[in-house]
Amino acid sequence: MKEILPGATIGILGGGQLGRMAAMEARRLGYGVVIYDPDPSCPAAAIADKHWIGGYDDIDKLLDFAAAADVLTYEFENISSLALRKLEEESLLFPSAAVLEICQHRVREKEFLSSRGFPTVSYKVVNRPEELSSKAADLGFPSILKTAQLGYDGKGQVSLSSIEDCFSAWENIGKPAIALLEKRLELLAEFSVIIGRDHKKNVSFFPIPRNFHKKGILDFTIVPSGLGKRLEKEAKEIAFEIAAALDLIGLLAVEFFLTENEDIVVNELAPRPHNSGHFSLDICLTSQFEQLLRIICNLPLGATSARSNGLMRNLLGDLWRADNQPNWAGLLKLPGLKLHLYGKKQPRVGRKMGHYCIVGENMDDILALDTQALQILENNLS
């Protein structure tokens, strides 16, 4: 494949905040950008040269969109794999439809990982609600029942503490055609490895972020992770082997659990830029979004080492009041804080509206600034 140089057009399937930030990096590099998203007011629409509005199963409209781009990528997993297969026949698409077919389906993903010997959470596949109680008893409590598809940020899952919880669980996750039952682990930490792999099988890793969640949504991330060189090396080796097994061309975020026994297990895969990698916009020479563009355009990988320590915190719609926005001016007075807003017009509880990143040399100072930032945001709500 020849290099796709600035001046060409990048096509992005999905116009959310990930698509927006990828589009912004593409524009900075001199590329044109077209996006495809069913939402007329999606965040990336303001950045793109053209926005196709349509469903992800509208093959004709998708092919029309693809014809306007020199290369395609996607910003989230909930796209028809059949549609992607059709696009792949006509256009350059990275990562491949085969990668997405695995990563968009929790059961296929778990079976892909476990069949190749990668460490995963103990699990059972549940094909109908009548199986749930017996399989939950076999697996043991507590456990988590998840839909096979369309789940993110804690959606599409329910915790099970006893047999009694099983009776309503299937209905609570929307009566799926198939579900995944996982053993709940006691965790010391959660972290992610973001790897880029190019057409020549060269790879690069971003600094490993340690992730902290609240109500199933990423709350904040710190870099460095503080997990130690041995664990980070082991996690990178696993991510490298997973990317190779997928024959990945693009980015892959591998979410990991660190158990109370200090074992690491793979939680989930995301073949795209990842929320936990947003710090790279401010502390790495090459962000995760630019790295994706470099890879899909067959350009050299960029440098990804951290130039400072950092903390990234998501800003959810919970912070908005009916009569005003959060106190952005107060936040921007803090030294080392970089604010990123996504241009979403309707704040909702749990909706990711933006994030900030605090950069510095000393993590204690960064955490102190984060405490100040949270106080500013909370004062605005009182």
Q: What is the pLDDT of residues 258-309, one digit of tens each?
A: 999 999 999 999 999 999 999 999 999 999 999 999 999 999 999 999 999 9
Confidence class of residue 152 from pLDDT cuts 50, 70 and 90? low
> Is residue 195 one of the residues assigned to a domain?
yes
Average of per-residue pLDDT values in the chain? 95
64 is in an annotated binding site: no
Confidence class of residue 131 from pLDDT cuts 50, 70 and 90? confident
What is the CATH number for 142? 3.30.1490.20
**Looking at the predicted structure, is the pLDDT value of residue 342 above 70?**
yes
**Looking at the predicted structure, is the pLDDT value of residue 155 above 90?**
no
Q: How far apart are CA 372 and CA 379, in angstroms?
A: 11
278 is in an annotated binding site: no
157 is in an annotated binding site: yes
Out of 44, 75, 94, pick the residue that ends a domain: 94
370 is in an annotated binding site: no
Q: What is the pLDDT of residue 153?
A: 62
Q: Is the domain of 353 the same as that of 221?
A: yes
Q: What is the pLDDT of residues 45-63, one digit of tens each?
A: 999 999 999 999 899 999 9
151 is in an annotated binding site: yes
154 is in an annotated binding site: yes
> Is residue 3 one of the residues assigned to a domain?
no
Q: Quick one: average pLDDT of 333-359?
A: 96
Q: Is the domain of 43 the same as that of 85?
A: yes
Residue 12: φ, ψ to 5°? -115, 120
267 is in an annotated binding site: yes
Q: What angle do CA 86, 92, 93 make, to 5 degrees?
A: 70
74 is in an annotated binding site: no
183 is in an annotated binding site: yes
Q: Residue 155 carries which DSSP code?
A: T
Confidence class of residue 343 from pLDDT cuts 50, 70 and 90? very high
Cα-based distances in Å from 110 to 122, 178, 267, 354:
10, 13, 9, 31
146 is in an annotated binding site: yes
Average the pLDDT over each of 97-101, 107-111, 136-140, 319-323 and give the range with the smallest value: 319-323
Q: What angle do CA 309, 315, 318 make, to 5 degrees?
A: 150
Q: Is the domain of 223 the same as that of 341?
A: yes
Tokens linked to 319: 């912070």
Q: What is the pTM of this model?
A: 0.96
Average the pLDDT over each of 16-20, 103-107, 151-155, 226-230 and give the range with the smallest value: 151-155
Q: Is the domain of 172 the same as that of 197?
A: no
The fraction of the chain above a pLDDT of 90, given in percent, is 84
Confidence class of residue 128 from pLDDT cuts 50, 70 and 90? confident
Q: Is the domain of 264 the same as that of 315?
A: yes
Q: Is the domain of 217 the same as that of 152?
A: no
Q: How far apart are CA 162 and CA 150, in angstroms?
A: 25
Q: What is the pLDDT of residue 151?
A: 65
Is residue 215 within 8 Å of residue 306, measured between CB atoms? no
Q: What is the pLDDT of residues 192-208, one digit of tens each?
A: 999 999 999 999 999 99
Q: Is the domain of 67 the same as that of 151?
A: no
356 is in an annotated binding site: no
Confidence class of residue 154 from pLDDT cuts 50, 70 and 90? low
